[in-house]
Amino acid sequence: MSKFLEWVDRRFPLTKTWNEHLAEYYAPKNFNFWYYFGSLAMLVLVIQIVTGIFLTMHYNPDAETAFASVEYIMRDVPWGWLIRYLHAIGGSAFFVVVYLHMFRGLLYGSHREPRELVWLLGCVIFVVLMAESFMGYLLPWGNMSFWGAQVIISLFGAIPFVGEGLAEWVRGDFVVSDATLKRFFAFHVAAVPLILAGLVYLHIVALHRVGSNNPDGIEIKKNKDADGVPKDGIPFHPYYSVKDLVGVVVFLIIYLAIVFFLPEFFGLFLEKDNFLPADPLQTPADIVPLWYFTPYYSILRATTESLMWFVRGLIVLSVVVAFVRTSKPTAKGIAALVGAGFFIGAFIFTPKFWGVVLMGFSIVALFLLPWLDQSPVRSIRYRGWMYKTALAVFVFSFVILGYMGMHNPDHVSLFIFKNVVWAQICTITYALFFILMPLYSVWDRTKPEPERVNFK
């Protein structure tokens, strides 16, 4: 065996790779609950790829037969129902896991220097994942698939001058049709998964270059023993491989319990209207995206004429924050110029267009986090009340936006406000979390970071 390994090692860095990324990759020994979701996201990616391959063997990307082919998989293909449920619910599981994975970053400052690239690559993965799931959702060719795609693609139409042409180009037709279905199929099963796999590879390479953060947000590489091994580090394999195994089993219990016992998950994972075939003549009573898109959808719908004054206010506020936090005249000049451009744009363009812009910004803002966050400490354990409050408000806003996005704007009201008013308030607080971060992250009274990691 060892002879064979030598033979391989002379031709391929097998042992070296194994050591660098597993057996001698030193991870902080104080990982807690929040650190399971990275490896779980990889697991879900594999599940989606494998189940997806089997689904393509029986699925027809054709507007006439797509819906029937899904039912064929559900009824006539041996174990087809299981593969299909695993894939459909895997989509939701992916977002659960990825949202928790991202939230971990906000808790412990994983986006901070020197992990900016890890964070940025992660953000790109998130955006690509959204594209992947959006296109995948069209494939069953149910009525909600059809109308959801119709609504979201028509958003391109809000872009001035080129919008309508762009929307038509994306659809390949004047409405969502067979042409749209076929291109979405091609992207969903070939192009995007390839990109996704490549990005995940880069994400991990970047992570292993700088090393993992931990719940204390301190660098374990600052404290090394005589052999150059971090004192608070343990080899990923076997310690975290066996620990993650426990996480995997717990995850599988929850995921498979939903697959086997509650696959529709109260209409959240499989929507009622998607059991009807796509019908361009019959609009569903409420067109709602799947749950993981509803926060952004809410922001889109919240942007009405009445919100525009607040949007202008937020633009002015962003410029003010930039002025307070930079001393360089050029930076101030750029901030003033860009701000002025946006401010004027807020008078010229329609709220519909601004809805799309704000929806875009709600995701772009994540990319800026490493530079917006100026706190001297990384982890929430050593931050003061300001960041803790801001993060709580952010999570609250995100959840409320998501909840409101699931319901018709006219139907739900919470306490005193209507759906749309709640969505507007939360859109503003969501934006303030990012816009004010350069201020409160600095003003916050932080506690001193420890020398070595803690177990809490």
Partner 1 sequence: MKKLILILILAAVSPSSLAAEATEPLDPVYTNLGNKASLQRGAKLFVNYCLSCHSAAYMRYNRMGRDLGISQGNIDEHMMFAADKPGALMTVSMPEVKAKQWFGTAPPDLSLITRVRKPEWVYSYLRRFYFDAESPHGWNNSLFENVAMPHVLYELQGVQRLTGHDEHGYPRFEMQAPGTMTPEEYDEAMQDLTNFLVYLGEPAKLERYKIGTIVMLFLAGLLVLSYFLKKEYWRDIHYS
Using CB under 8 A as the criterion, which residues of the chain lie in contact with partner 1 when the complex forms? 29, 68, 71-72, 74-76, 81-82, 234, 238-239, 242-243, 245-246, 248-250, 252-253, 256-257, 259-261, 263-264, 272-273, 275-276, 407-408, 411-415, 455
Based on CB atoms, which residue is closest to partner 1, 174 or 415? 415
CB of 67 to partner 1, least distance (A): 9
Write down the residue that tokens 């319901």 correspond to. Answer: 407
Please state the φ and ψ torsions of residue 26, each to the nearest 5 degrees. -90, 115
Contact yes or no for 440/404 (Cβ under 8 A): no
Nearest to partner 1 of 291, 434 (CB atom): 291
Least separation in angstroms between CB 96 and partner 1: 18
Nearer to partner 1, 158 or 453 (CB): 453
How far apart CA 410 and CA 301 sit, in angstroms, is 12
Residue 192: CB atoms within 10 A of its CB come to 20
CB closer to partner 1, 190 vs 253: 253
> What is the token pair recorded at 113?
């220097």
Sequence-ordered list of residues with C-beta below 8 angstroms from that of 4, at least 6 positions apart, any chain:
none
Nearer to partner 1, 257 or 331 (CB): 257
CB of 88 to partner 1, least distance (A): 13
Residue listed under structure tokens 């090393």? 211
User: φ, ψ for residue 13 (rounded to 5)?
Assistant: -75, 65
Burial class (CB in 10 A: 0-12, 13-18, 19+), 172: middle
Complex with partner 1: residue 67 or 134, whichever CB lies closer: 67
Instruction: Compare residues 4 and 261 and give the one whose CB is closer to partner 1.
Output: 261
Determine which helix (DSSP H) or strand (DSSP E) holds 417, and give its type and residue range: strand 417-418
* Phi/psi of residue 265, nearest 5 degrees: 45, 60
- 122, 257 contact by CB (below 8 A): no
Computed from CA positions of residues 164, 166, 167, 171, in that sequence, does the dihedral angle turn out positive or negative?
positive
Contacts of 126 (CB under 8 A, 6+ apart): 98, 102, 363, 366
Q: How far is the CB of 421 from partner 1 (least distance, A)?
A: 14
Nearest distance, CB of residue 80 and partner 1, angstroms: 8
Q: Cβ 455 to partner 1, closest distance in Å?
A: 5
Q: Nearest distance from residue 237's CB to partner 1, in Å? A: 10
